[in-house]
Amino acid sequence: MIGNRRIALCMFVLLAAAAESVAAATSPAVQASLKAGRPFVAGELLVQFKPGASEAAKAAALGRQGAQATRTLLGKARRKDAKGDLVQAQLGKGRKVDAALLARLAADPAVDFVEPNWIYRSQQSNPDDPGLGKLWGMQGASTSPAHPYGSGALAAWNADALCSSQVHVGIVDEGLMTSHPDLRANVWVNPGEGSRADRKDNDGNGLVDDIHGWDFVGNNASVFDSTVDDHGTHVAGTVAAQANNATGVFGVCPSARLISAKFLGSNGGTTAGAVQAINYLTELKLAKKIRLVATNNSWGGGGYSQALYDAIQTAGRANILFVAAAGNSGSSNDTTPSYPASYALPNLIAVAAIGPSGQLAGFSNYGPNSVHIAAPGVDILSSVPTSKRAGGYAYMSGTSMAAPHVTGAAALYASLNPCASAAQIREALLRLAVRDPQLTGLVQQTRRLDASKIRAELACAP
């Protein structure tokens, strides 16, 4: 049996656009911004009409795309240049702003150009999530509020080094609460199944209605079943809880898409479940060409398994990083291996937990040869289900909570470096880590996670 180990779990309820194929008519810069997942107001457009376009032609152009003008931002008569009306428009219900819609509208003879209504933030501003002051793991030495041993994810946010919604992460764990108010915007929807269950395996992968992932414990599509999915929901929140939604907390990569591969139930999980869960995610990536860059694996305790080793290695060949909690036995993985953290594979990062003092947590496994990095894992506030329907927040501690800080950082790096391989992401996270003498003899090269310096740095091959 593989049991997810966690300790000191105290509950504190605090508070309750994928780009399609792009036509040439949309500006390449707008396409690139869409692709990068830059935020915009849902359903809103800015439309620049040509100077000669009649009122009827303008209304017809919008109407054909299910849109209507809500106001004129700049009328032709008042303009100093030779352009026509600049209009703000609203899409009808059920329509969304994407590259295809922009291209269709831009191709209309009445239209000069069209773009999303981008959302800007003042630089150096914090997200408005009320939990910010309690998220020591997200703070950094130079942020406000500051925490010297936090991951520095907030500093990356402040520097506009933003997470992309094109990046996907697999949560191999319990299930996760897909309706949680701080997660639901980032829960993956399988494009091959659509958002509505129809009891058909529409994408032909052998799993009926795997809309948000799959439950390998119950062998069914419901990846959230009850409050027993609190650990998976908590881990998911640290990776990618939504930021700047005036709600709760936020994750290290707060726009990344979360795919649930549930294999831990109330009695833990098994090698069979873990292998299926990991292979499911690898197959999804290969079949659907989604940018699934990492899996989070906050579990351990089983014996050595060649089958599990093979599954992780296969994921690596598909450029999926495997982020593993080092274990909560307070022992050395160098002398007593803890699986899966101790599999020596190039796509695996084993993560130890530090507390707010920067010291290794008493429960955390360690190993200067086999544990690669440390990250915040004590008194970590994140999302949980408080009932079948209600989402809340709770503090948890464990290497289970440290690993998702690293997984989120991997997703953030991949957001800013879209051509990075798993090996390059791993190398970058280890290179950018802070060397902390408190971790001497405990963690390889005394590394502690530092997401504050994650930036675009890799060019894509031409």
**Least distance (Å) from Ca ion to the CB of residue 382?**
10
With residue 100 as reference, give the H or E element that holds it.
helix 99-106
Decide if 176 contacts 232 (C-beta within 8 A): yes
Residue (108 or 215) nearer to Ca ion, CB: 215
Number of helices (H), then strands (E), belonging to the chain: the values are: 9, 16
Stretch that binds Ca ion, among 36-44, 207-215, 318-326, 376-384 (CB under 5 A): 207-215
Decide if 271 contacts 308 (C-beta within 8 A): yes
Residue (61 or 412) nearer to Ca ion, CB: 412
Residue (135 or 350) nearer to Ca ion, CB: 135
Catalytic, 173? Answer: yes
**Least distance (Å) from Ca ion to the CB of residue 383?**
9
**Least distance (Å) from Ca ion to the CB of residue 141?**
23
| Among positions 53, 207, 275, 350, the unique one binding Ca ion when judged by CB under 5 A | 207
| Among positions 108, 182, 379, 436, the unique one binding Ca ion when judged by CB under 5 A | 182
- Which one of the listed residues 231, 234, 372, 405 is annotated catalytic? 231
Told to check if 283 binds Ca ion by CB under 5 A, we report no
Residue (49 or 136) nearer to Ca ion, CB: 136
3-state SS class at 258: strand
Overall size of the chain counted in residues: 462
**Least distance (Å) from Ca ion to the CB of residue 363?**
28
**Least distance (Å) from Ca ion to the CB of residue 424?**
29
Residue type for position 215: D
- Adjacent-strand bridge partners of 68: 90
**Least distance (Å) from Ca ion to the CB of residue 280?**
10
Buried b (16+ CB within 10 A) or exposed e, 78-117: eeeeeebbbbebbbeeeeebebebbbbbbebebbbbbbbe
Residue (157 or 343) nearer to Ca ion, CB: 157
Of 206, 225, 209, 205, which is closest to residue 217 (Cα–Cα)? 225
Told to check if 210 binds Ca ion by CB under 5 A, we report yes
Residue (166 or 247) nearer to Ca ion, CB: 247
Handedness of CA 405, 406, 408, 413 (dihedral sign): positive
d(CA 275, CA 263): 9
Q: Which two tokens stand for residue 185?
A: 């915007």
Q: Which residue has the tokens 């001497």?
A: 440
**Least distance (Å) from Ca ion to the CB of residue 118?**
20
Residue 81 CB contacts under 8 Å (≥ 6 apart), including other chains = none
Q: Which residue has the tokens 């000669």?
A: 52
- Which one of the listed residues 305, 338, 400, 452 is annotated catalytic? 400
- Convert residues 184-203 into a mask of x (bound to Ca ion by CB under 5 A) and - (unbound): ---------x----x-xxxx
**Least distance (Å) from Ca ion to the CB of residue 219?**
8
d(CA 103, CA 27): 9
Residue (200 or 431) nearer to Ca ion, CB: 200
- Convert residues 216-255 into a mask of x (bound to Ca ion by CB under 5 A) and - (unbound): --x-x-x--x----------------x--x-xx-x-----
Stretch that binds Ca ion, among 83-91, 149-157, 210-218, 413-421 (CB under 5 A): 210-218
Query: Can you say how many angstroms the Cα of residue 96 is from the centroid of all Cα atoms in its chain?
Result: 21
Stretch that binds Ca ion, among 18-26, 42-50, 180-188, 451-459 (CB under 5 A): 180-188
Of 321, 278, 395, 459, which is closest to residue 13 (Cα–Cα)? 395
Query: Can you say how many angstroms the Cα of residue 150 is from the centroid of all Cα atoms in its chain?
Result: 19
Residue (106 or 155) nearer to Ca ion, CB: 155
Residue (62 or 412) nearer to Ca ion, CB: 412
Stretch that binds Ca ion, among 178-186, 270-278, 347-355, 358-366 (CB under 5 A): 178-186
Looking from the CA of 251 toward its CB, the CA atoms found within 13 Å total 37
Catalytic, 231? Answer: yes
| Among positions 88, 205, 329, 331, the unique one binding Ca ion when judged by CB under 5 A | 205
- Percentage helix, strand, coil for the chain under 3-state DSSP, each rounded to 5: 25, 25, 50
Q: Which of left, alpha, beta for 124 (phi over 0: left; psi -120 to 50: alpha)? A: left
Site for Ca ion in 309-338 (CB under 5 A): none
- Which one of the listed residues 173, 229, 436, 450 is annotated catalytic? 173
**Least distance (Å) from Ca ion to the CB of residue 197?**
6
Q: Which residue has the tokens 């899966």?
A: 340
Q: How many residues bind Ca ion (CB under 5 A)?
A: 22
Decide if 2 contacts 270 (C-beta within 8 A): yes
Site for Ca ion in 113-132 (CB under 5 A): 129
Told to check if 209 binds Ca ion by CB under 5 A, we report yes
- 295-298-304-308 Cα dihedral, nearest 10 degrees: -20
Stretch that binds Ca ion, among 1-9, 208-216, 439-447, 448-456 (CB under 5 A): 208-216
Catalytic site positions:
173, 231, 400
| Residues in contact with Ca ion by the rule CB under 5 A | 129, 182, 193, 198, 200-203, 205, 207, 209-210, 215, 218, 220, 222, 225, 242, 245, 247-248, 250
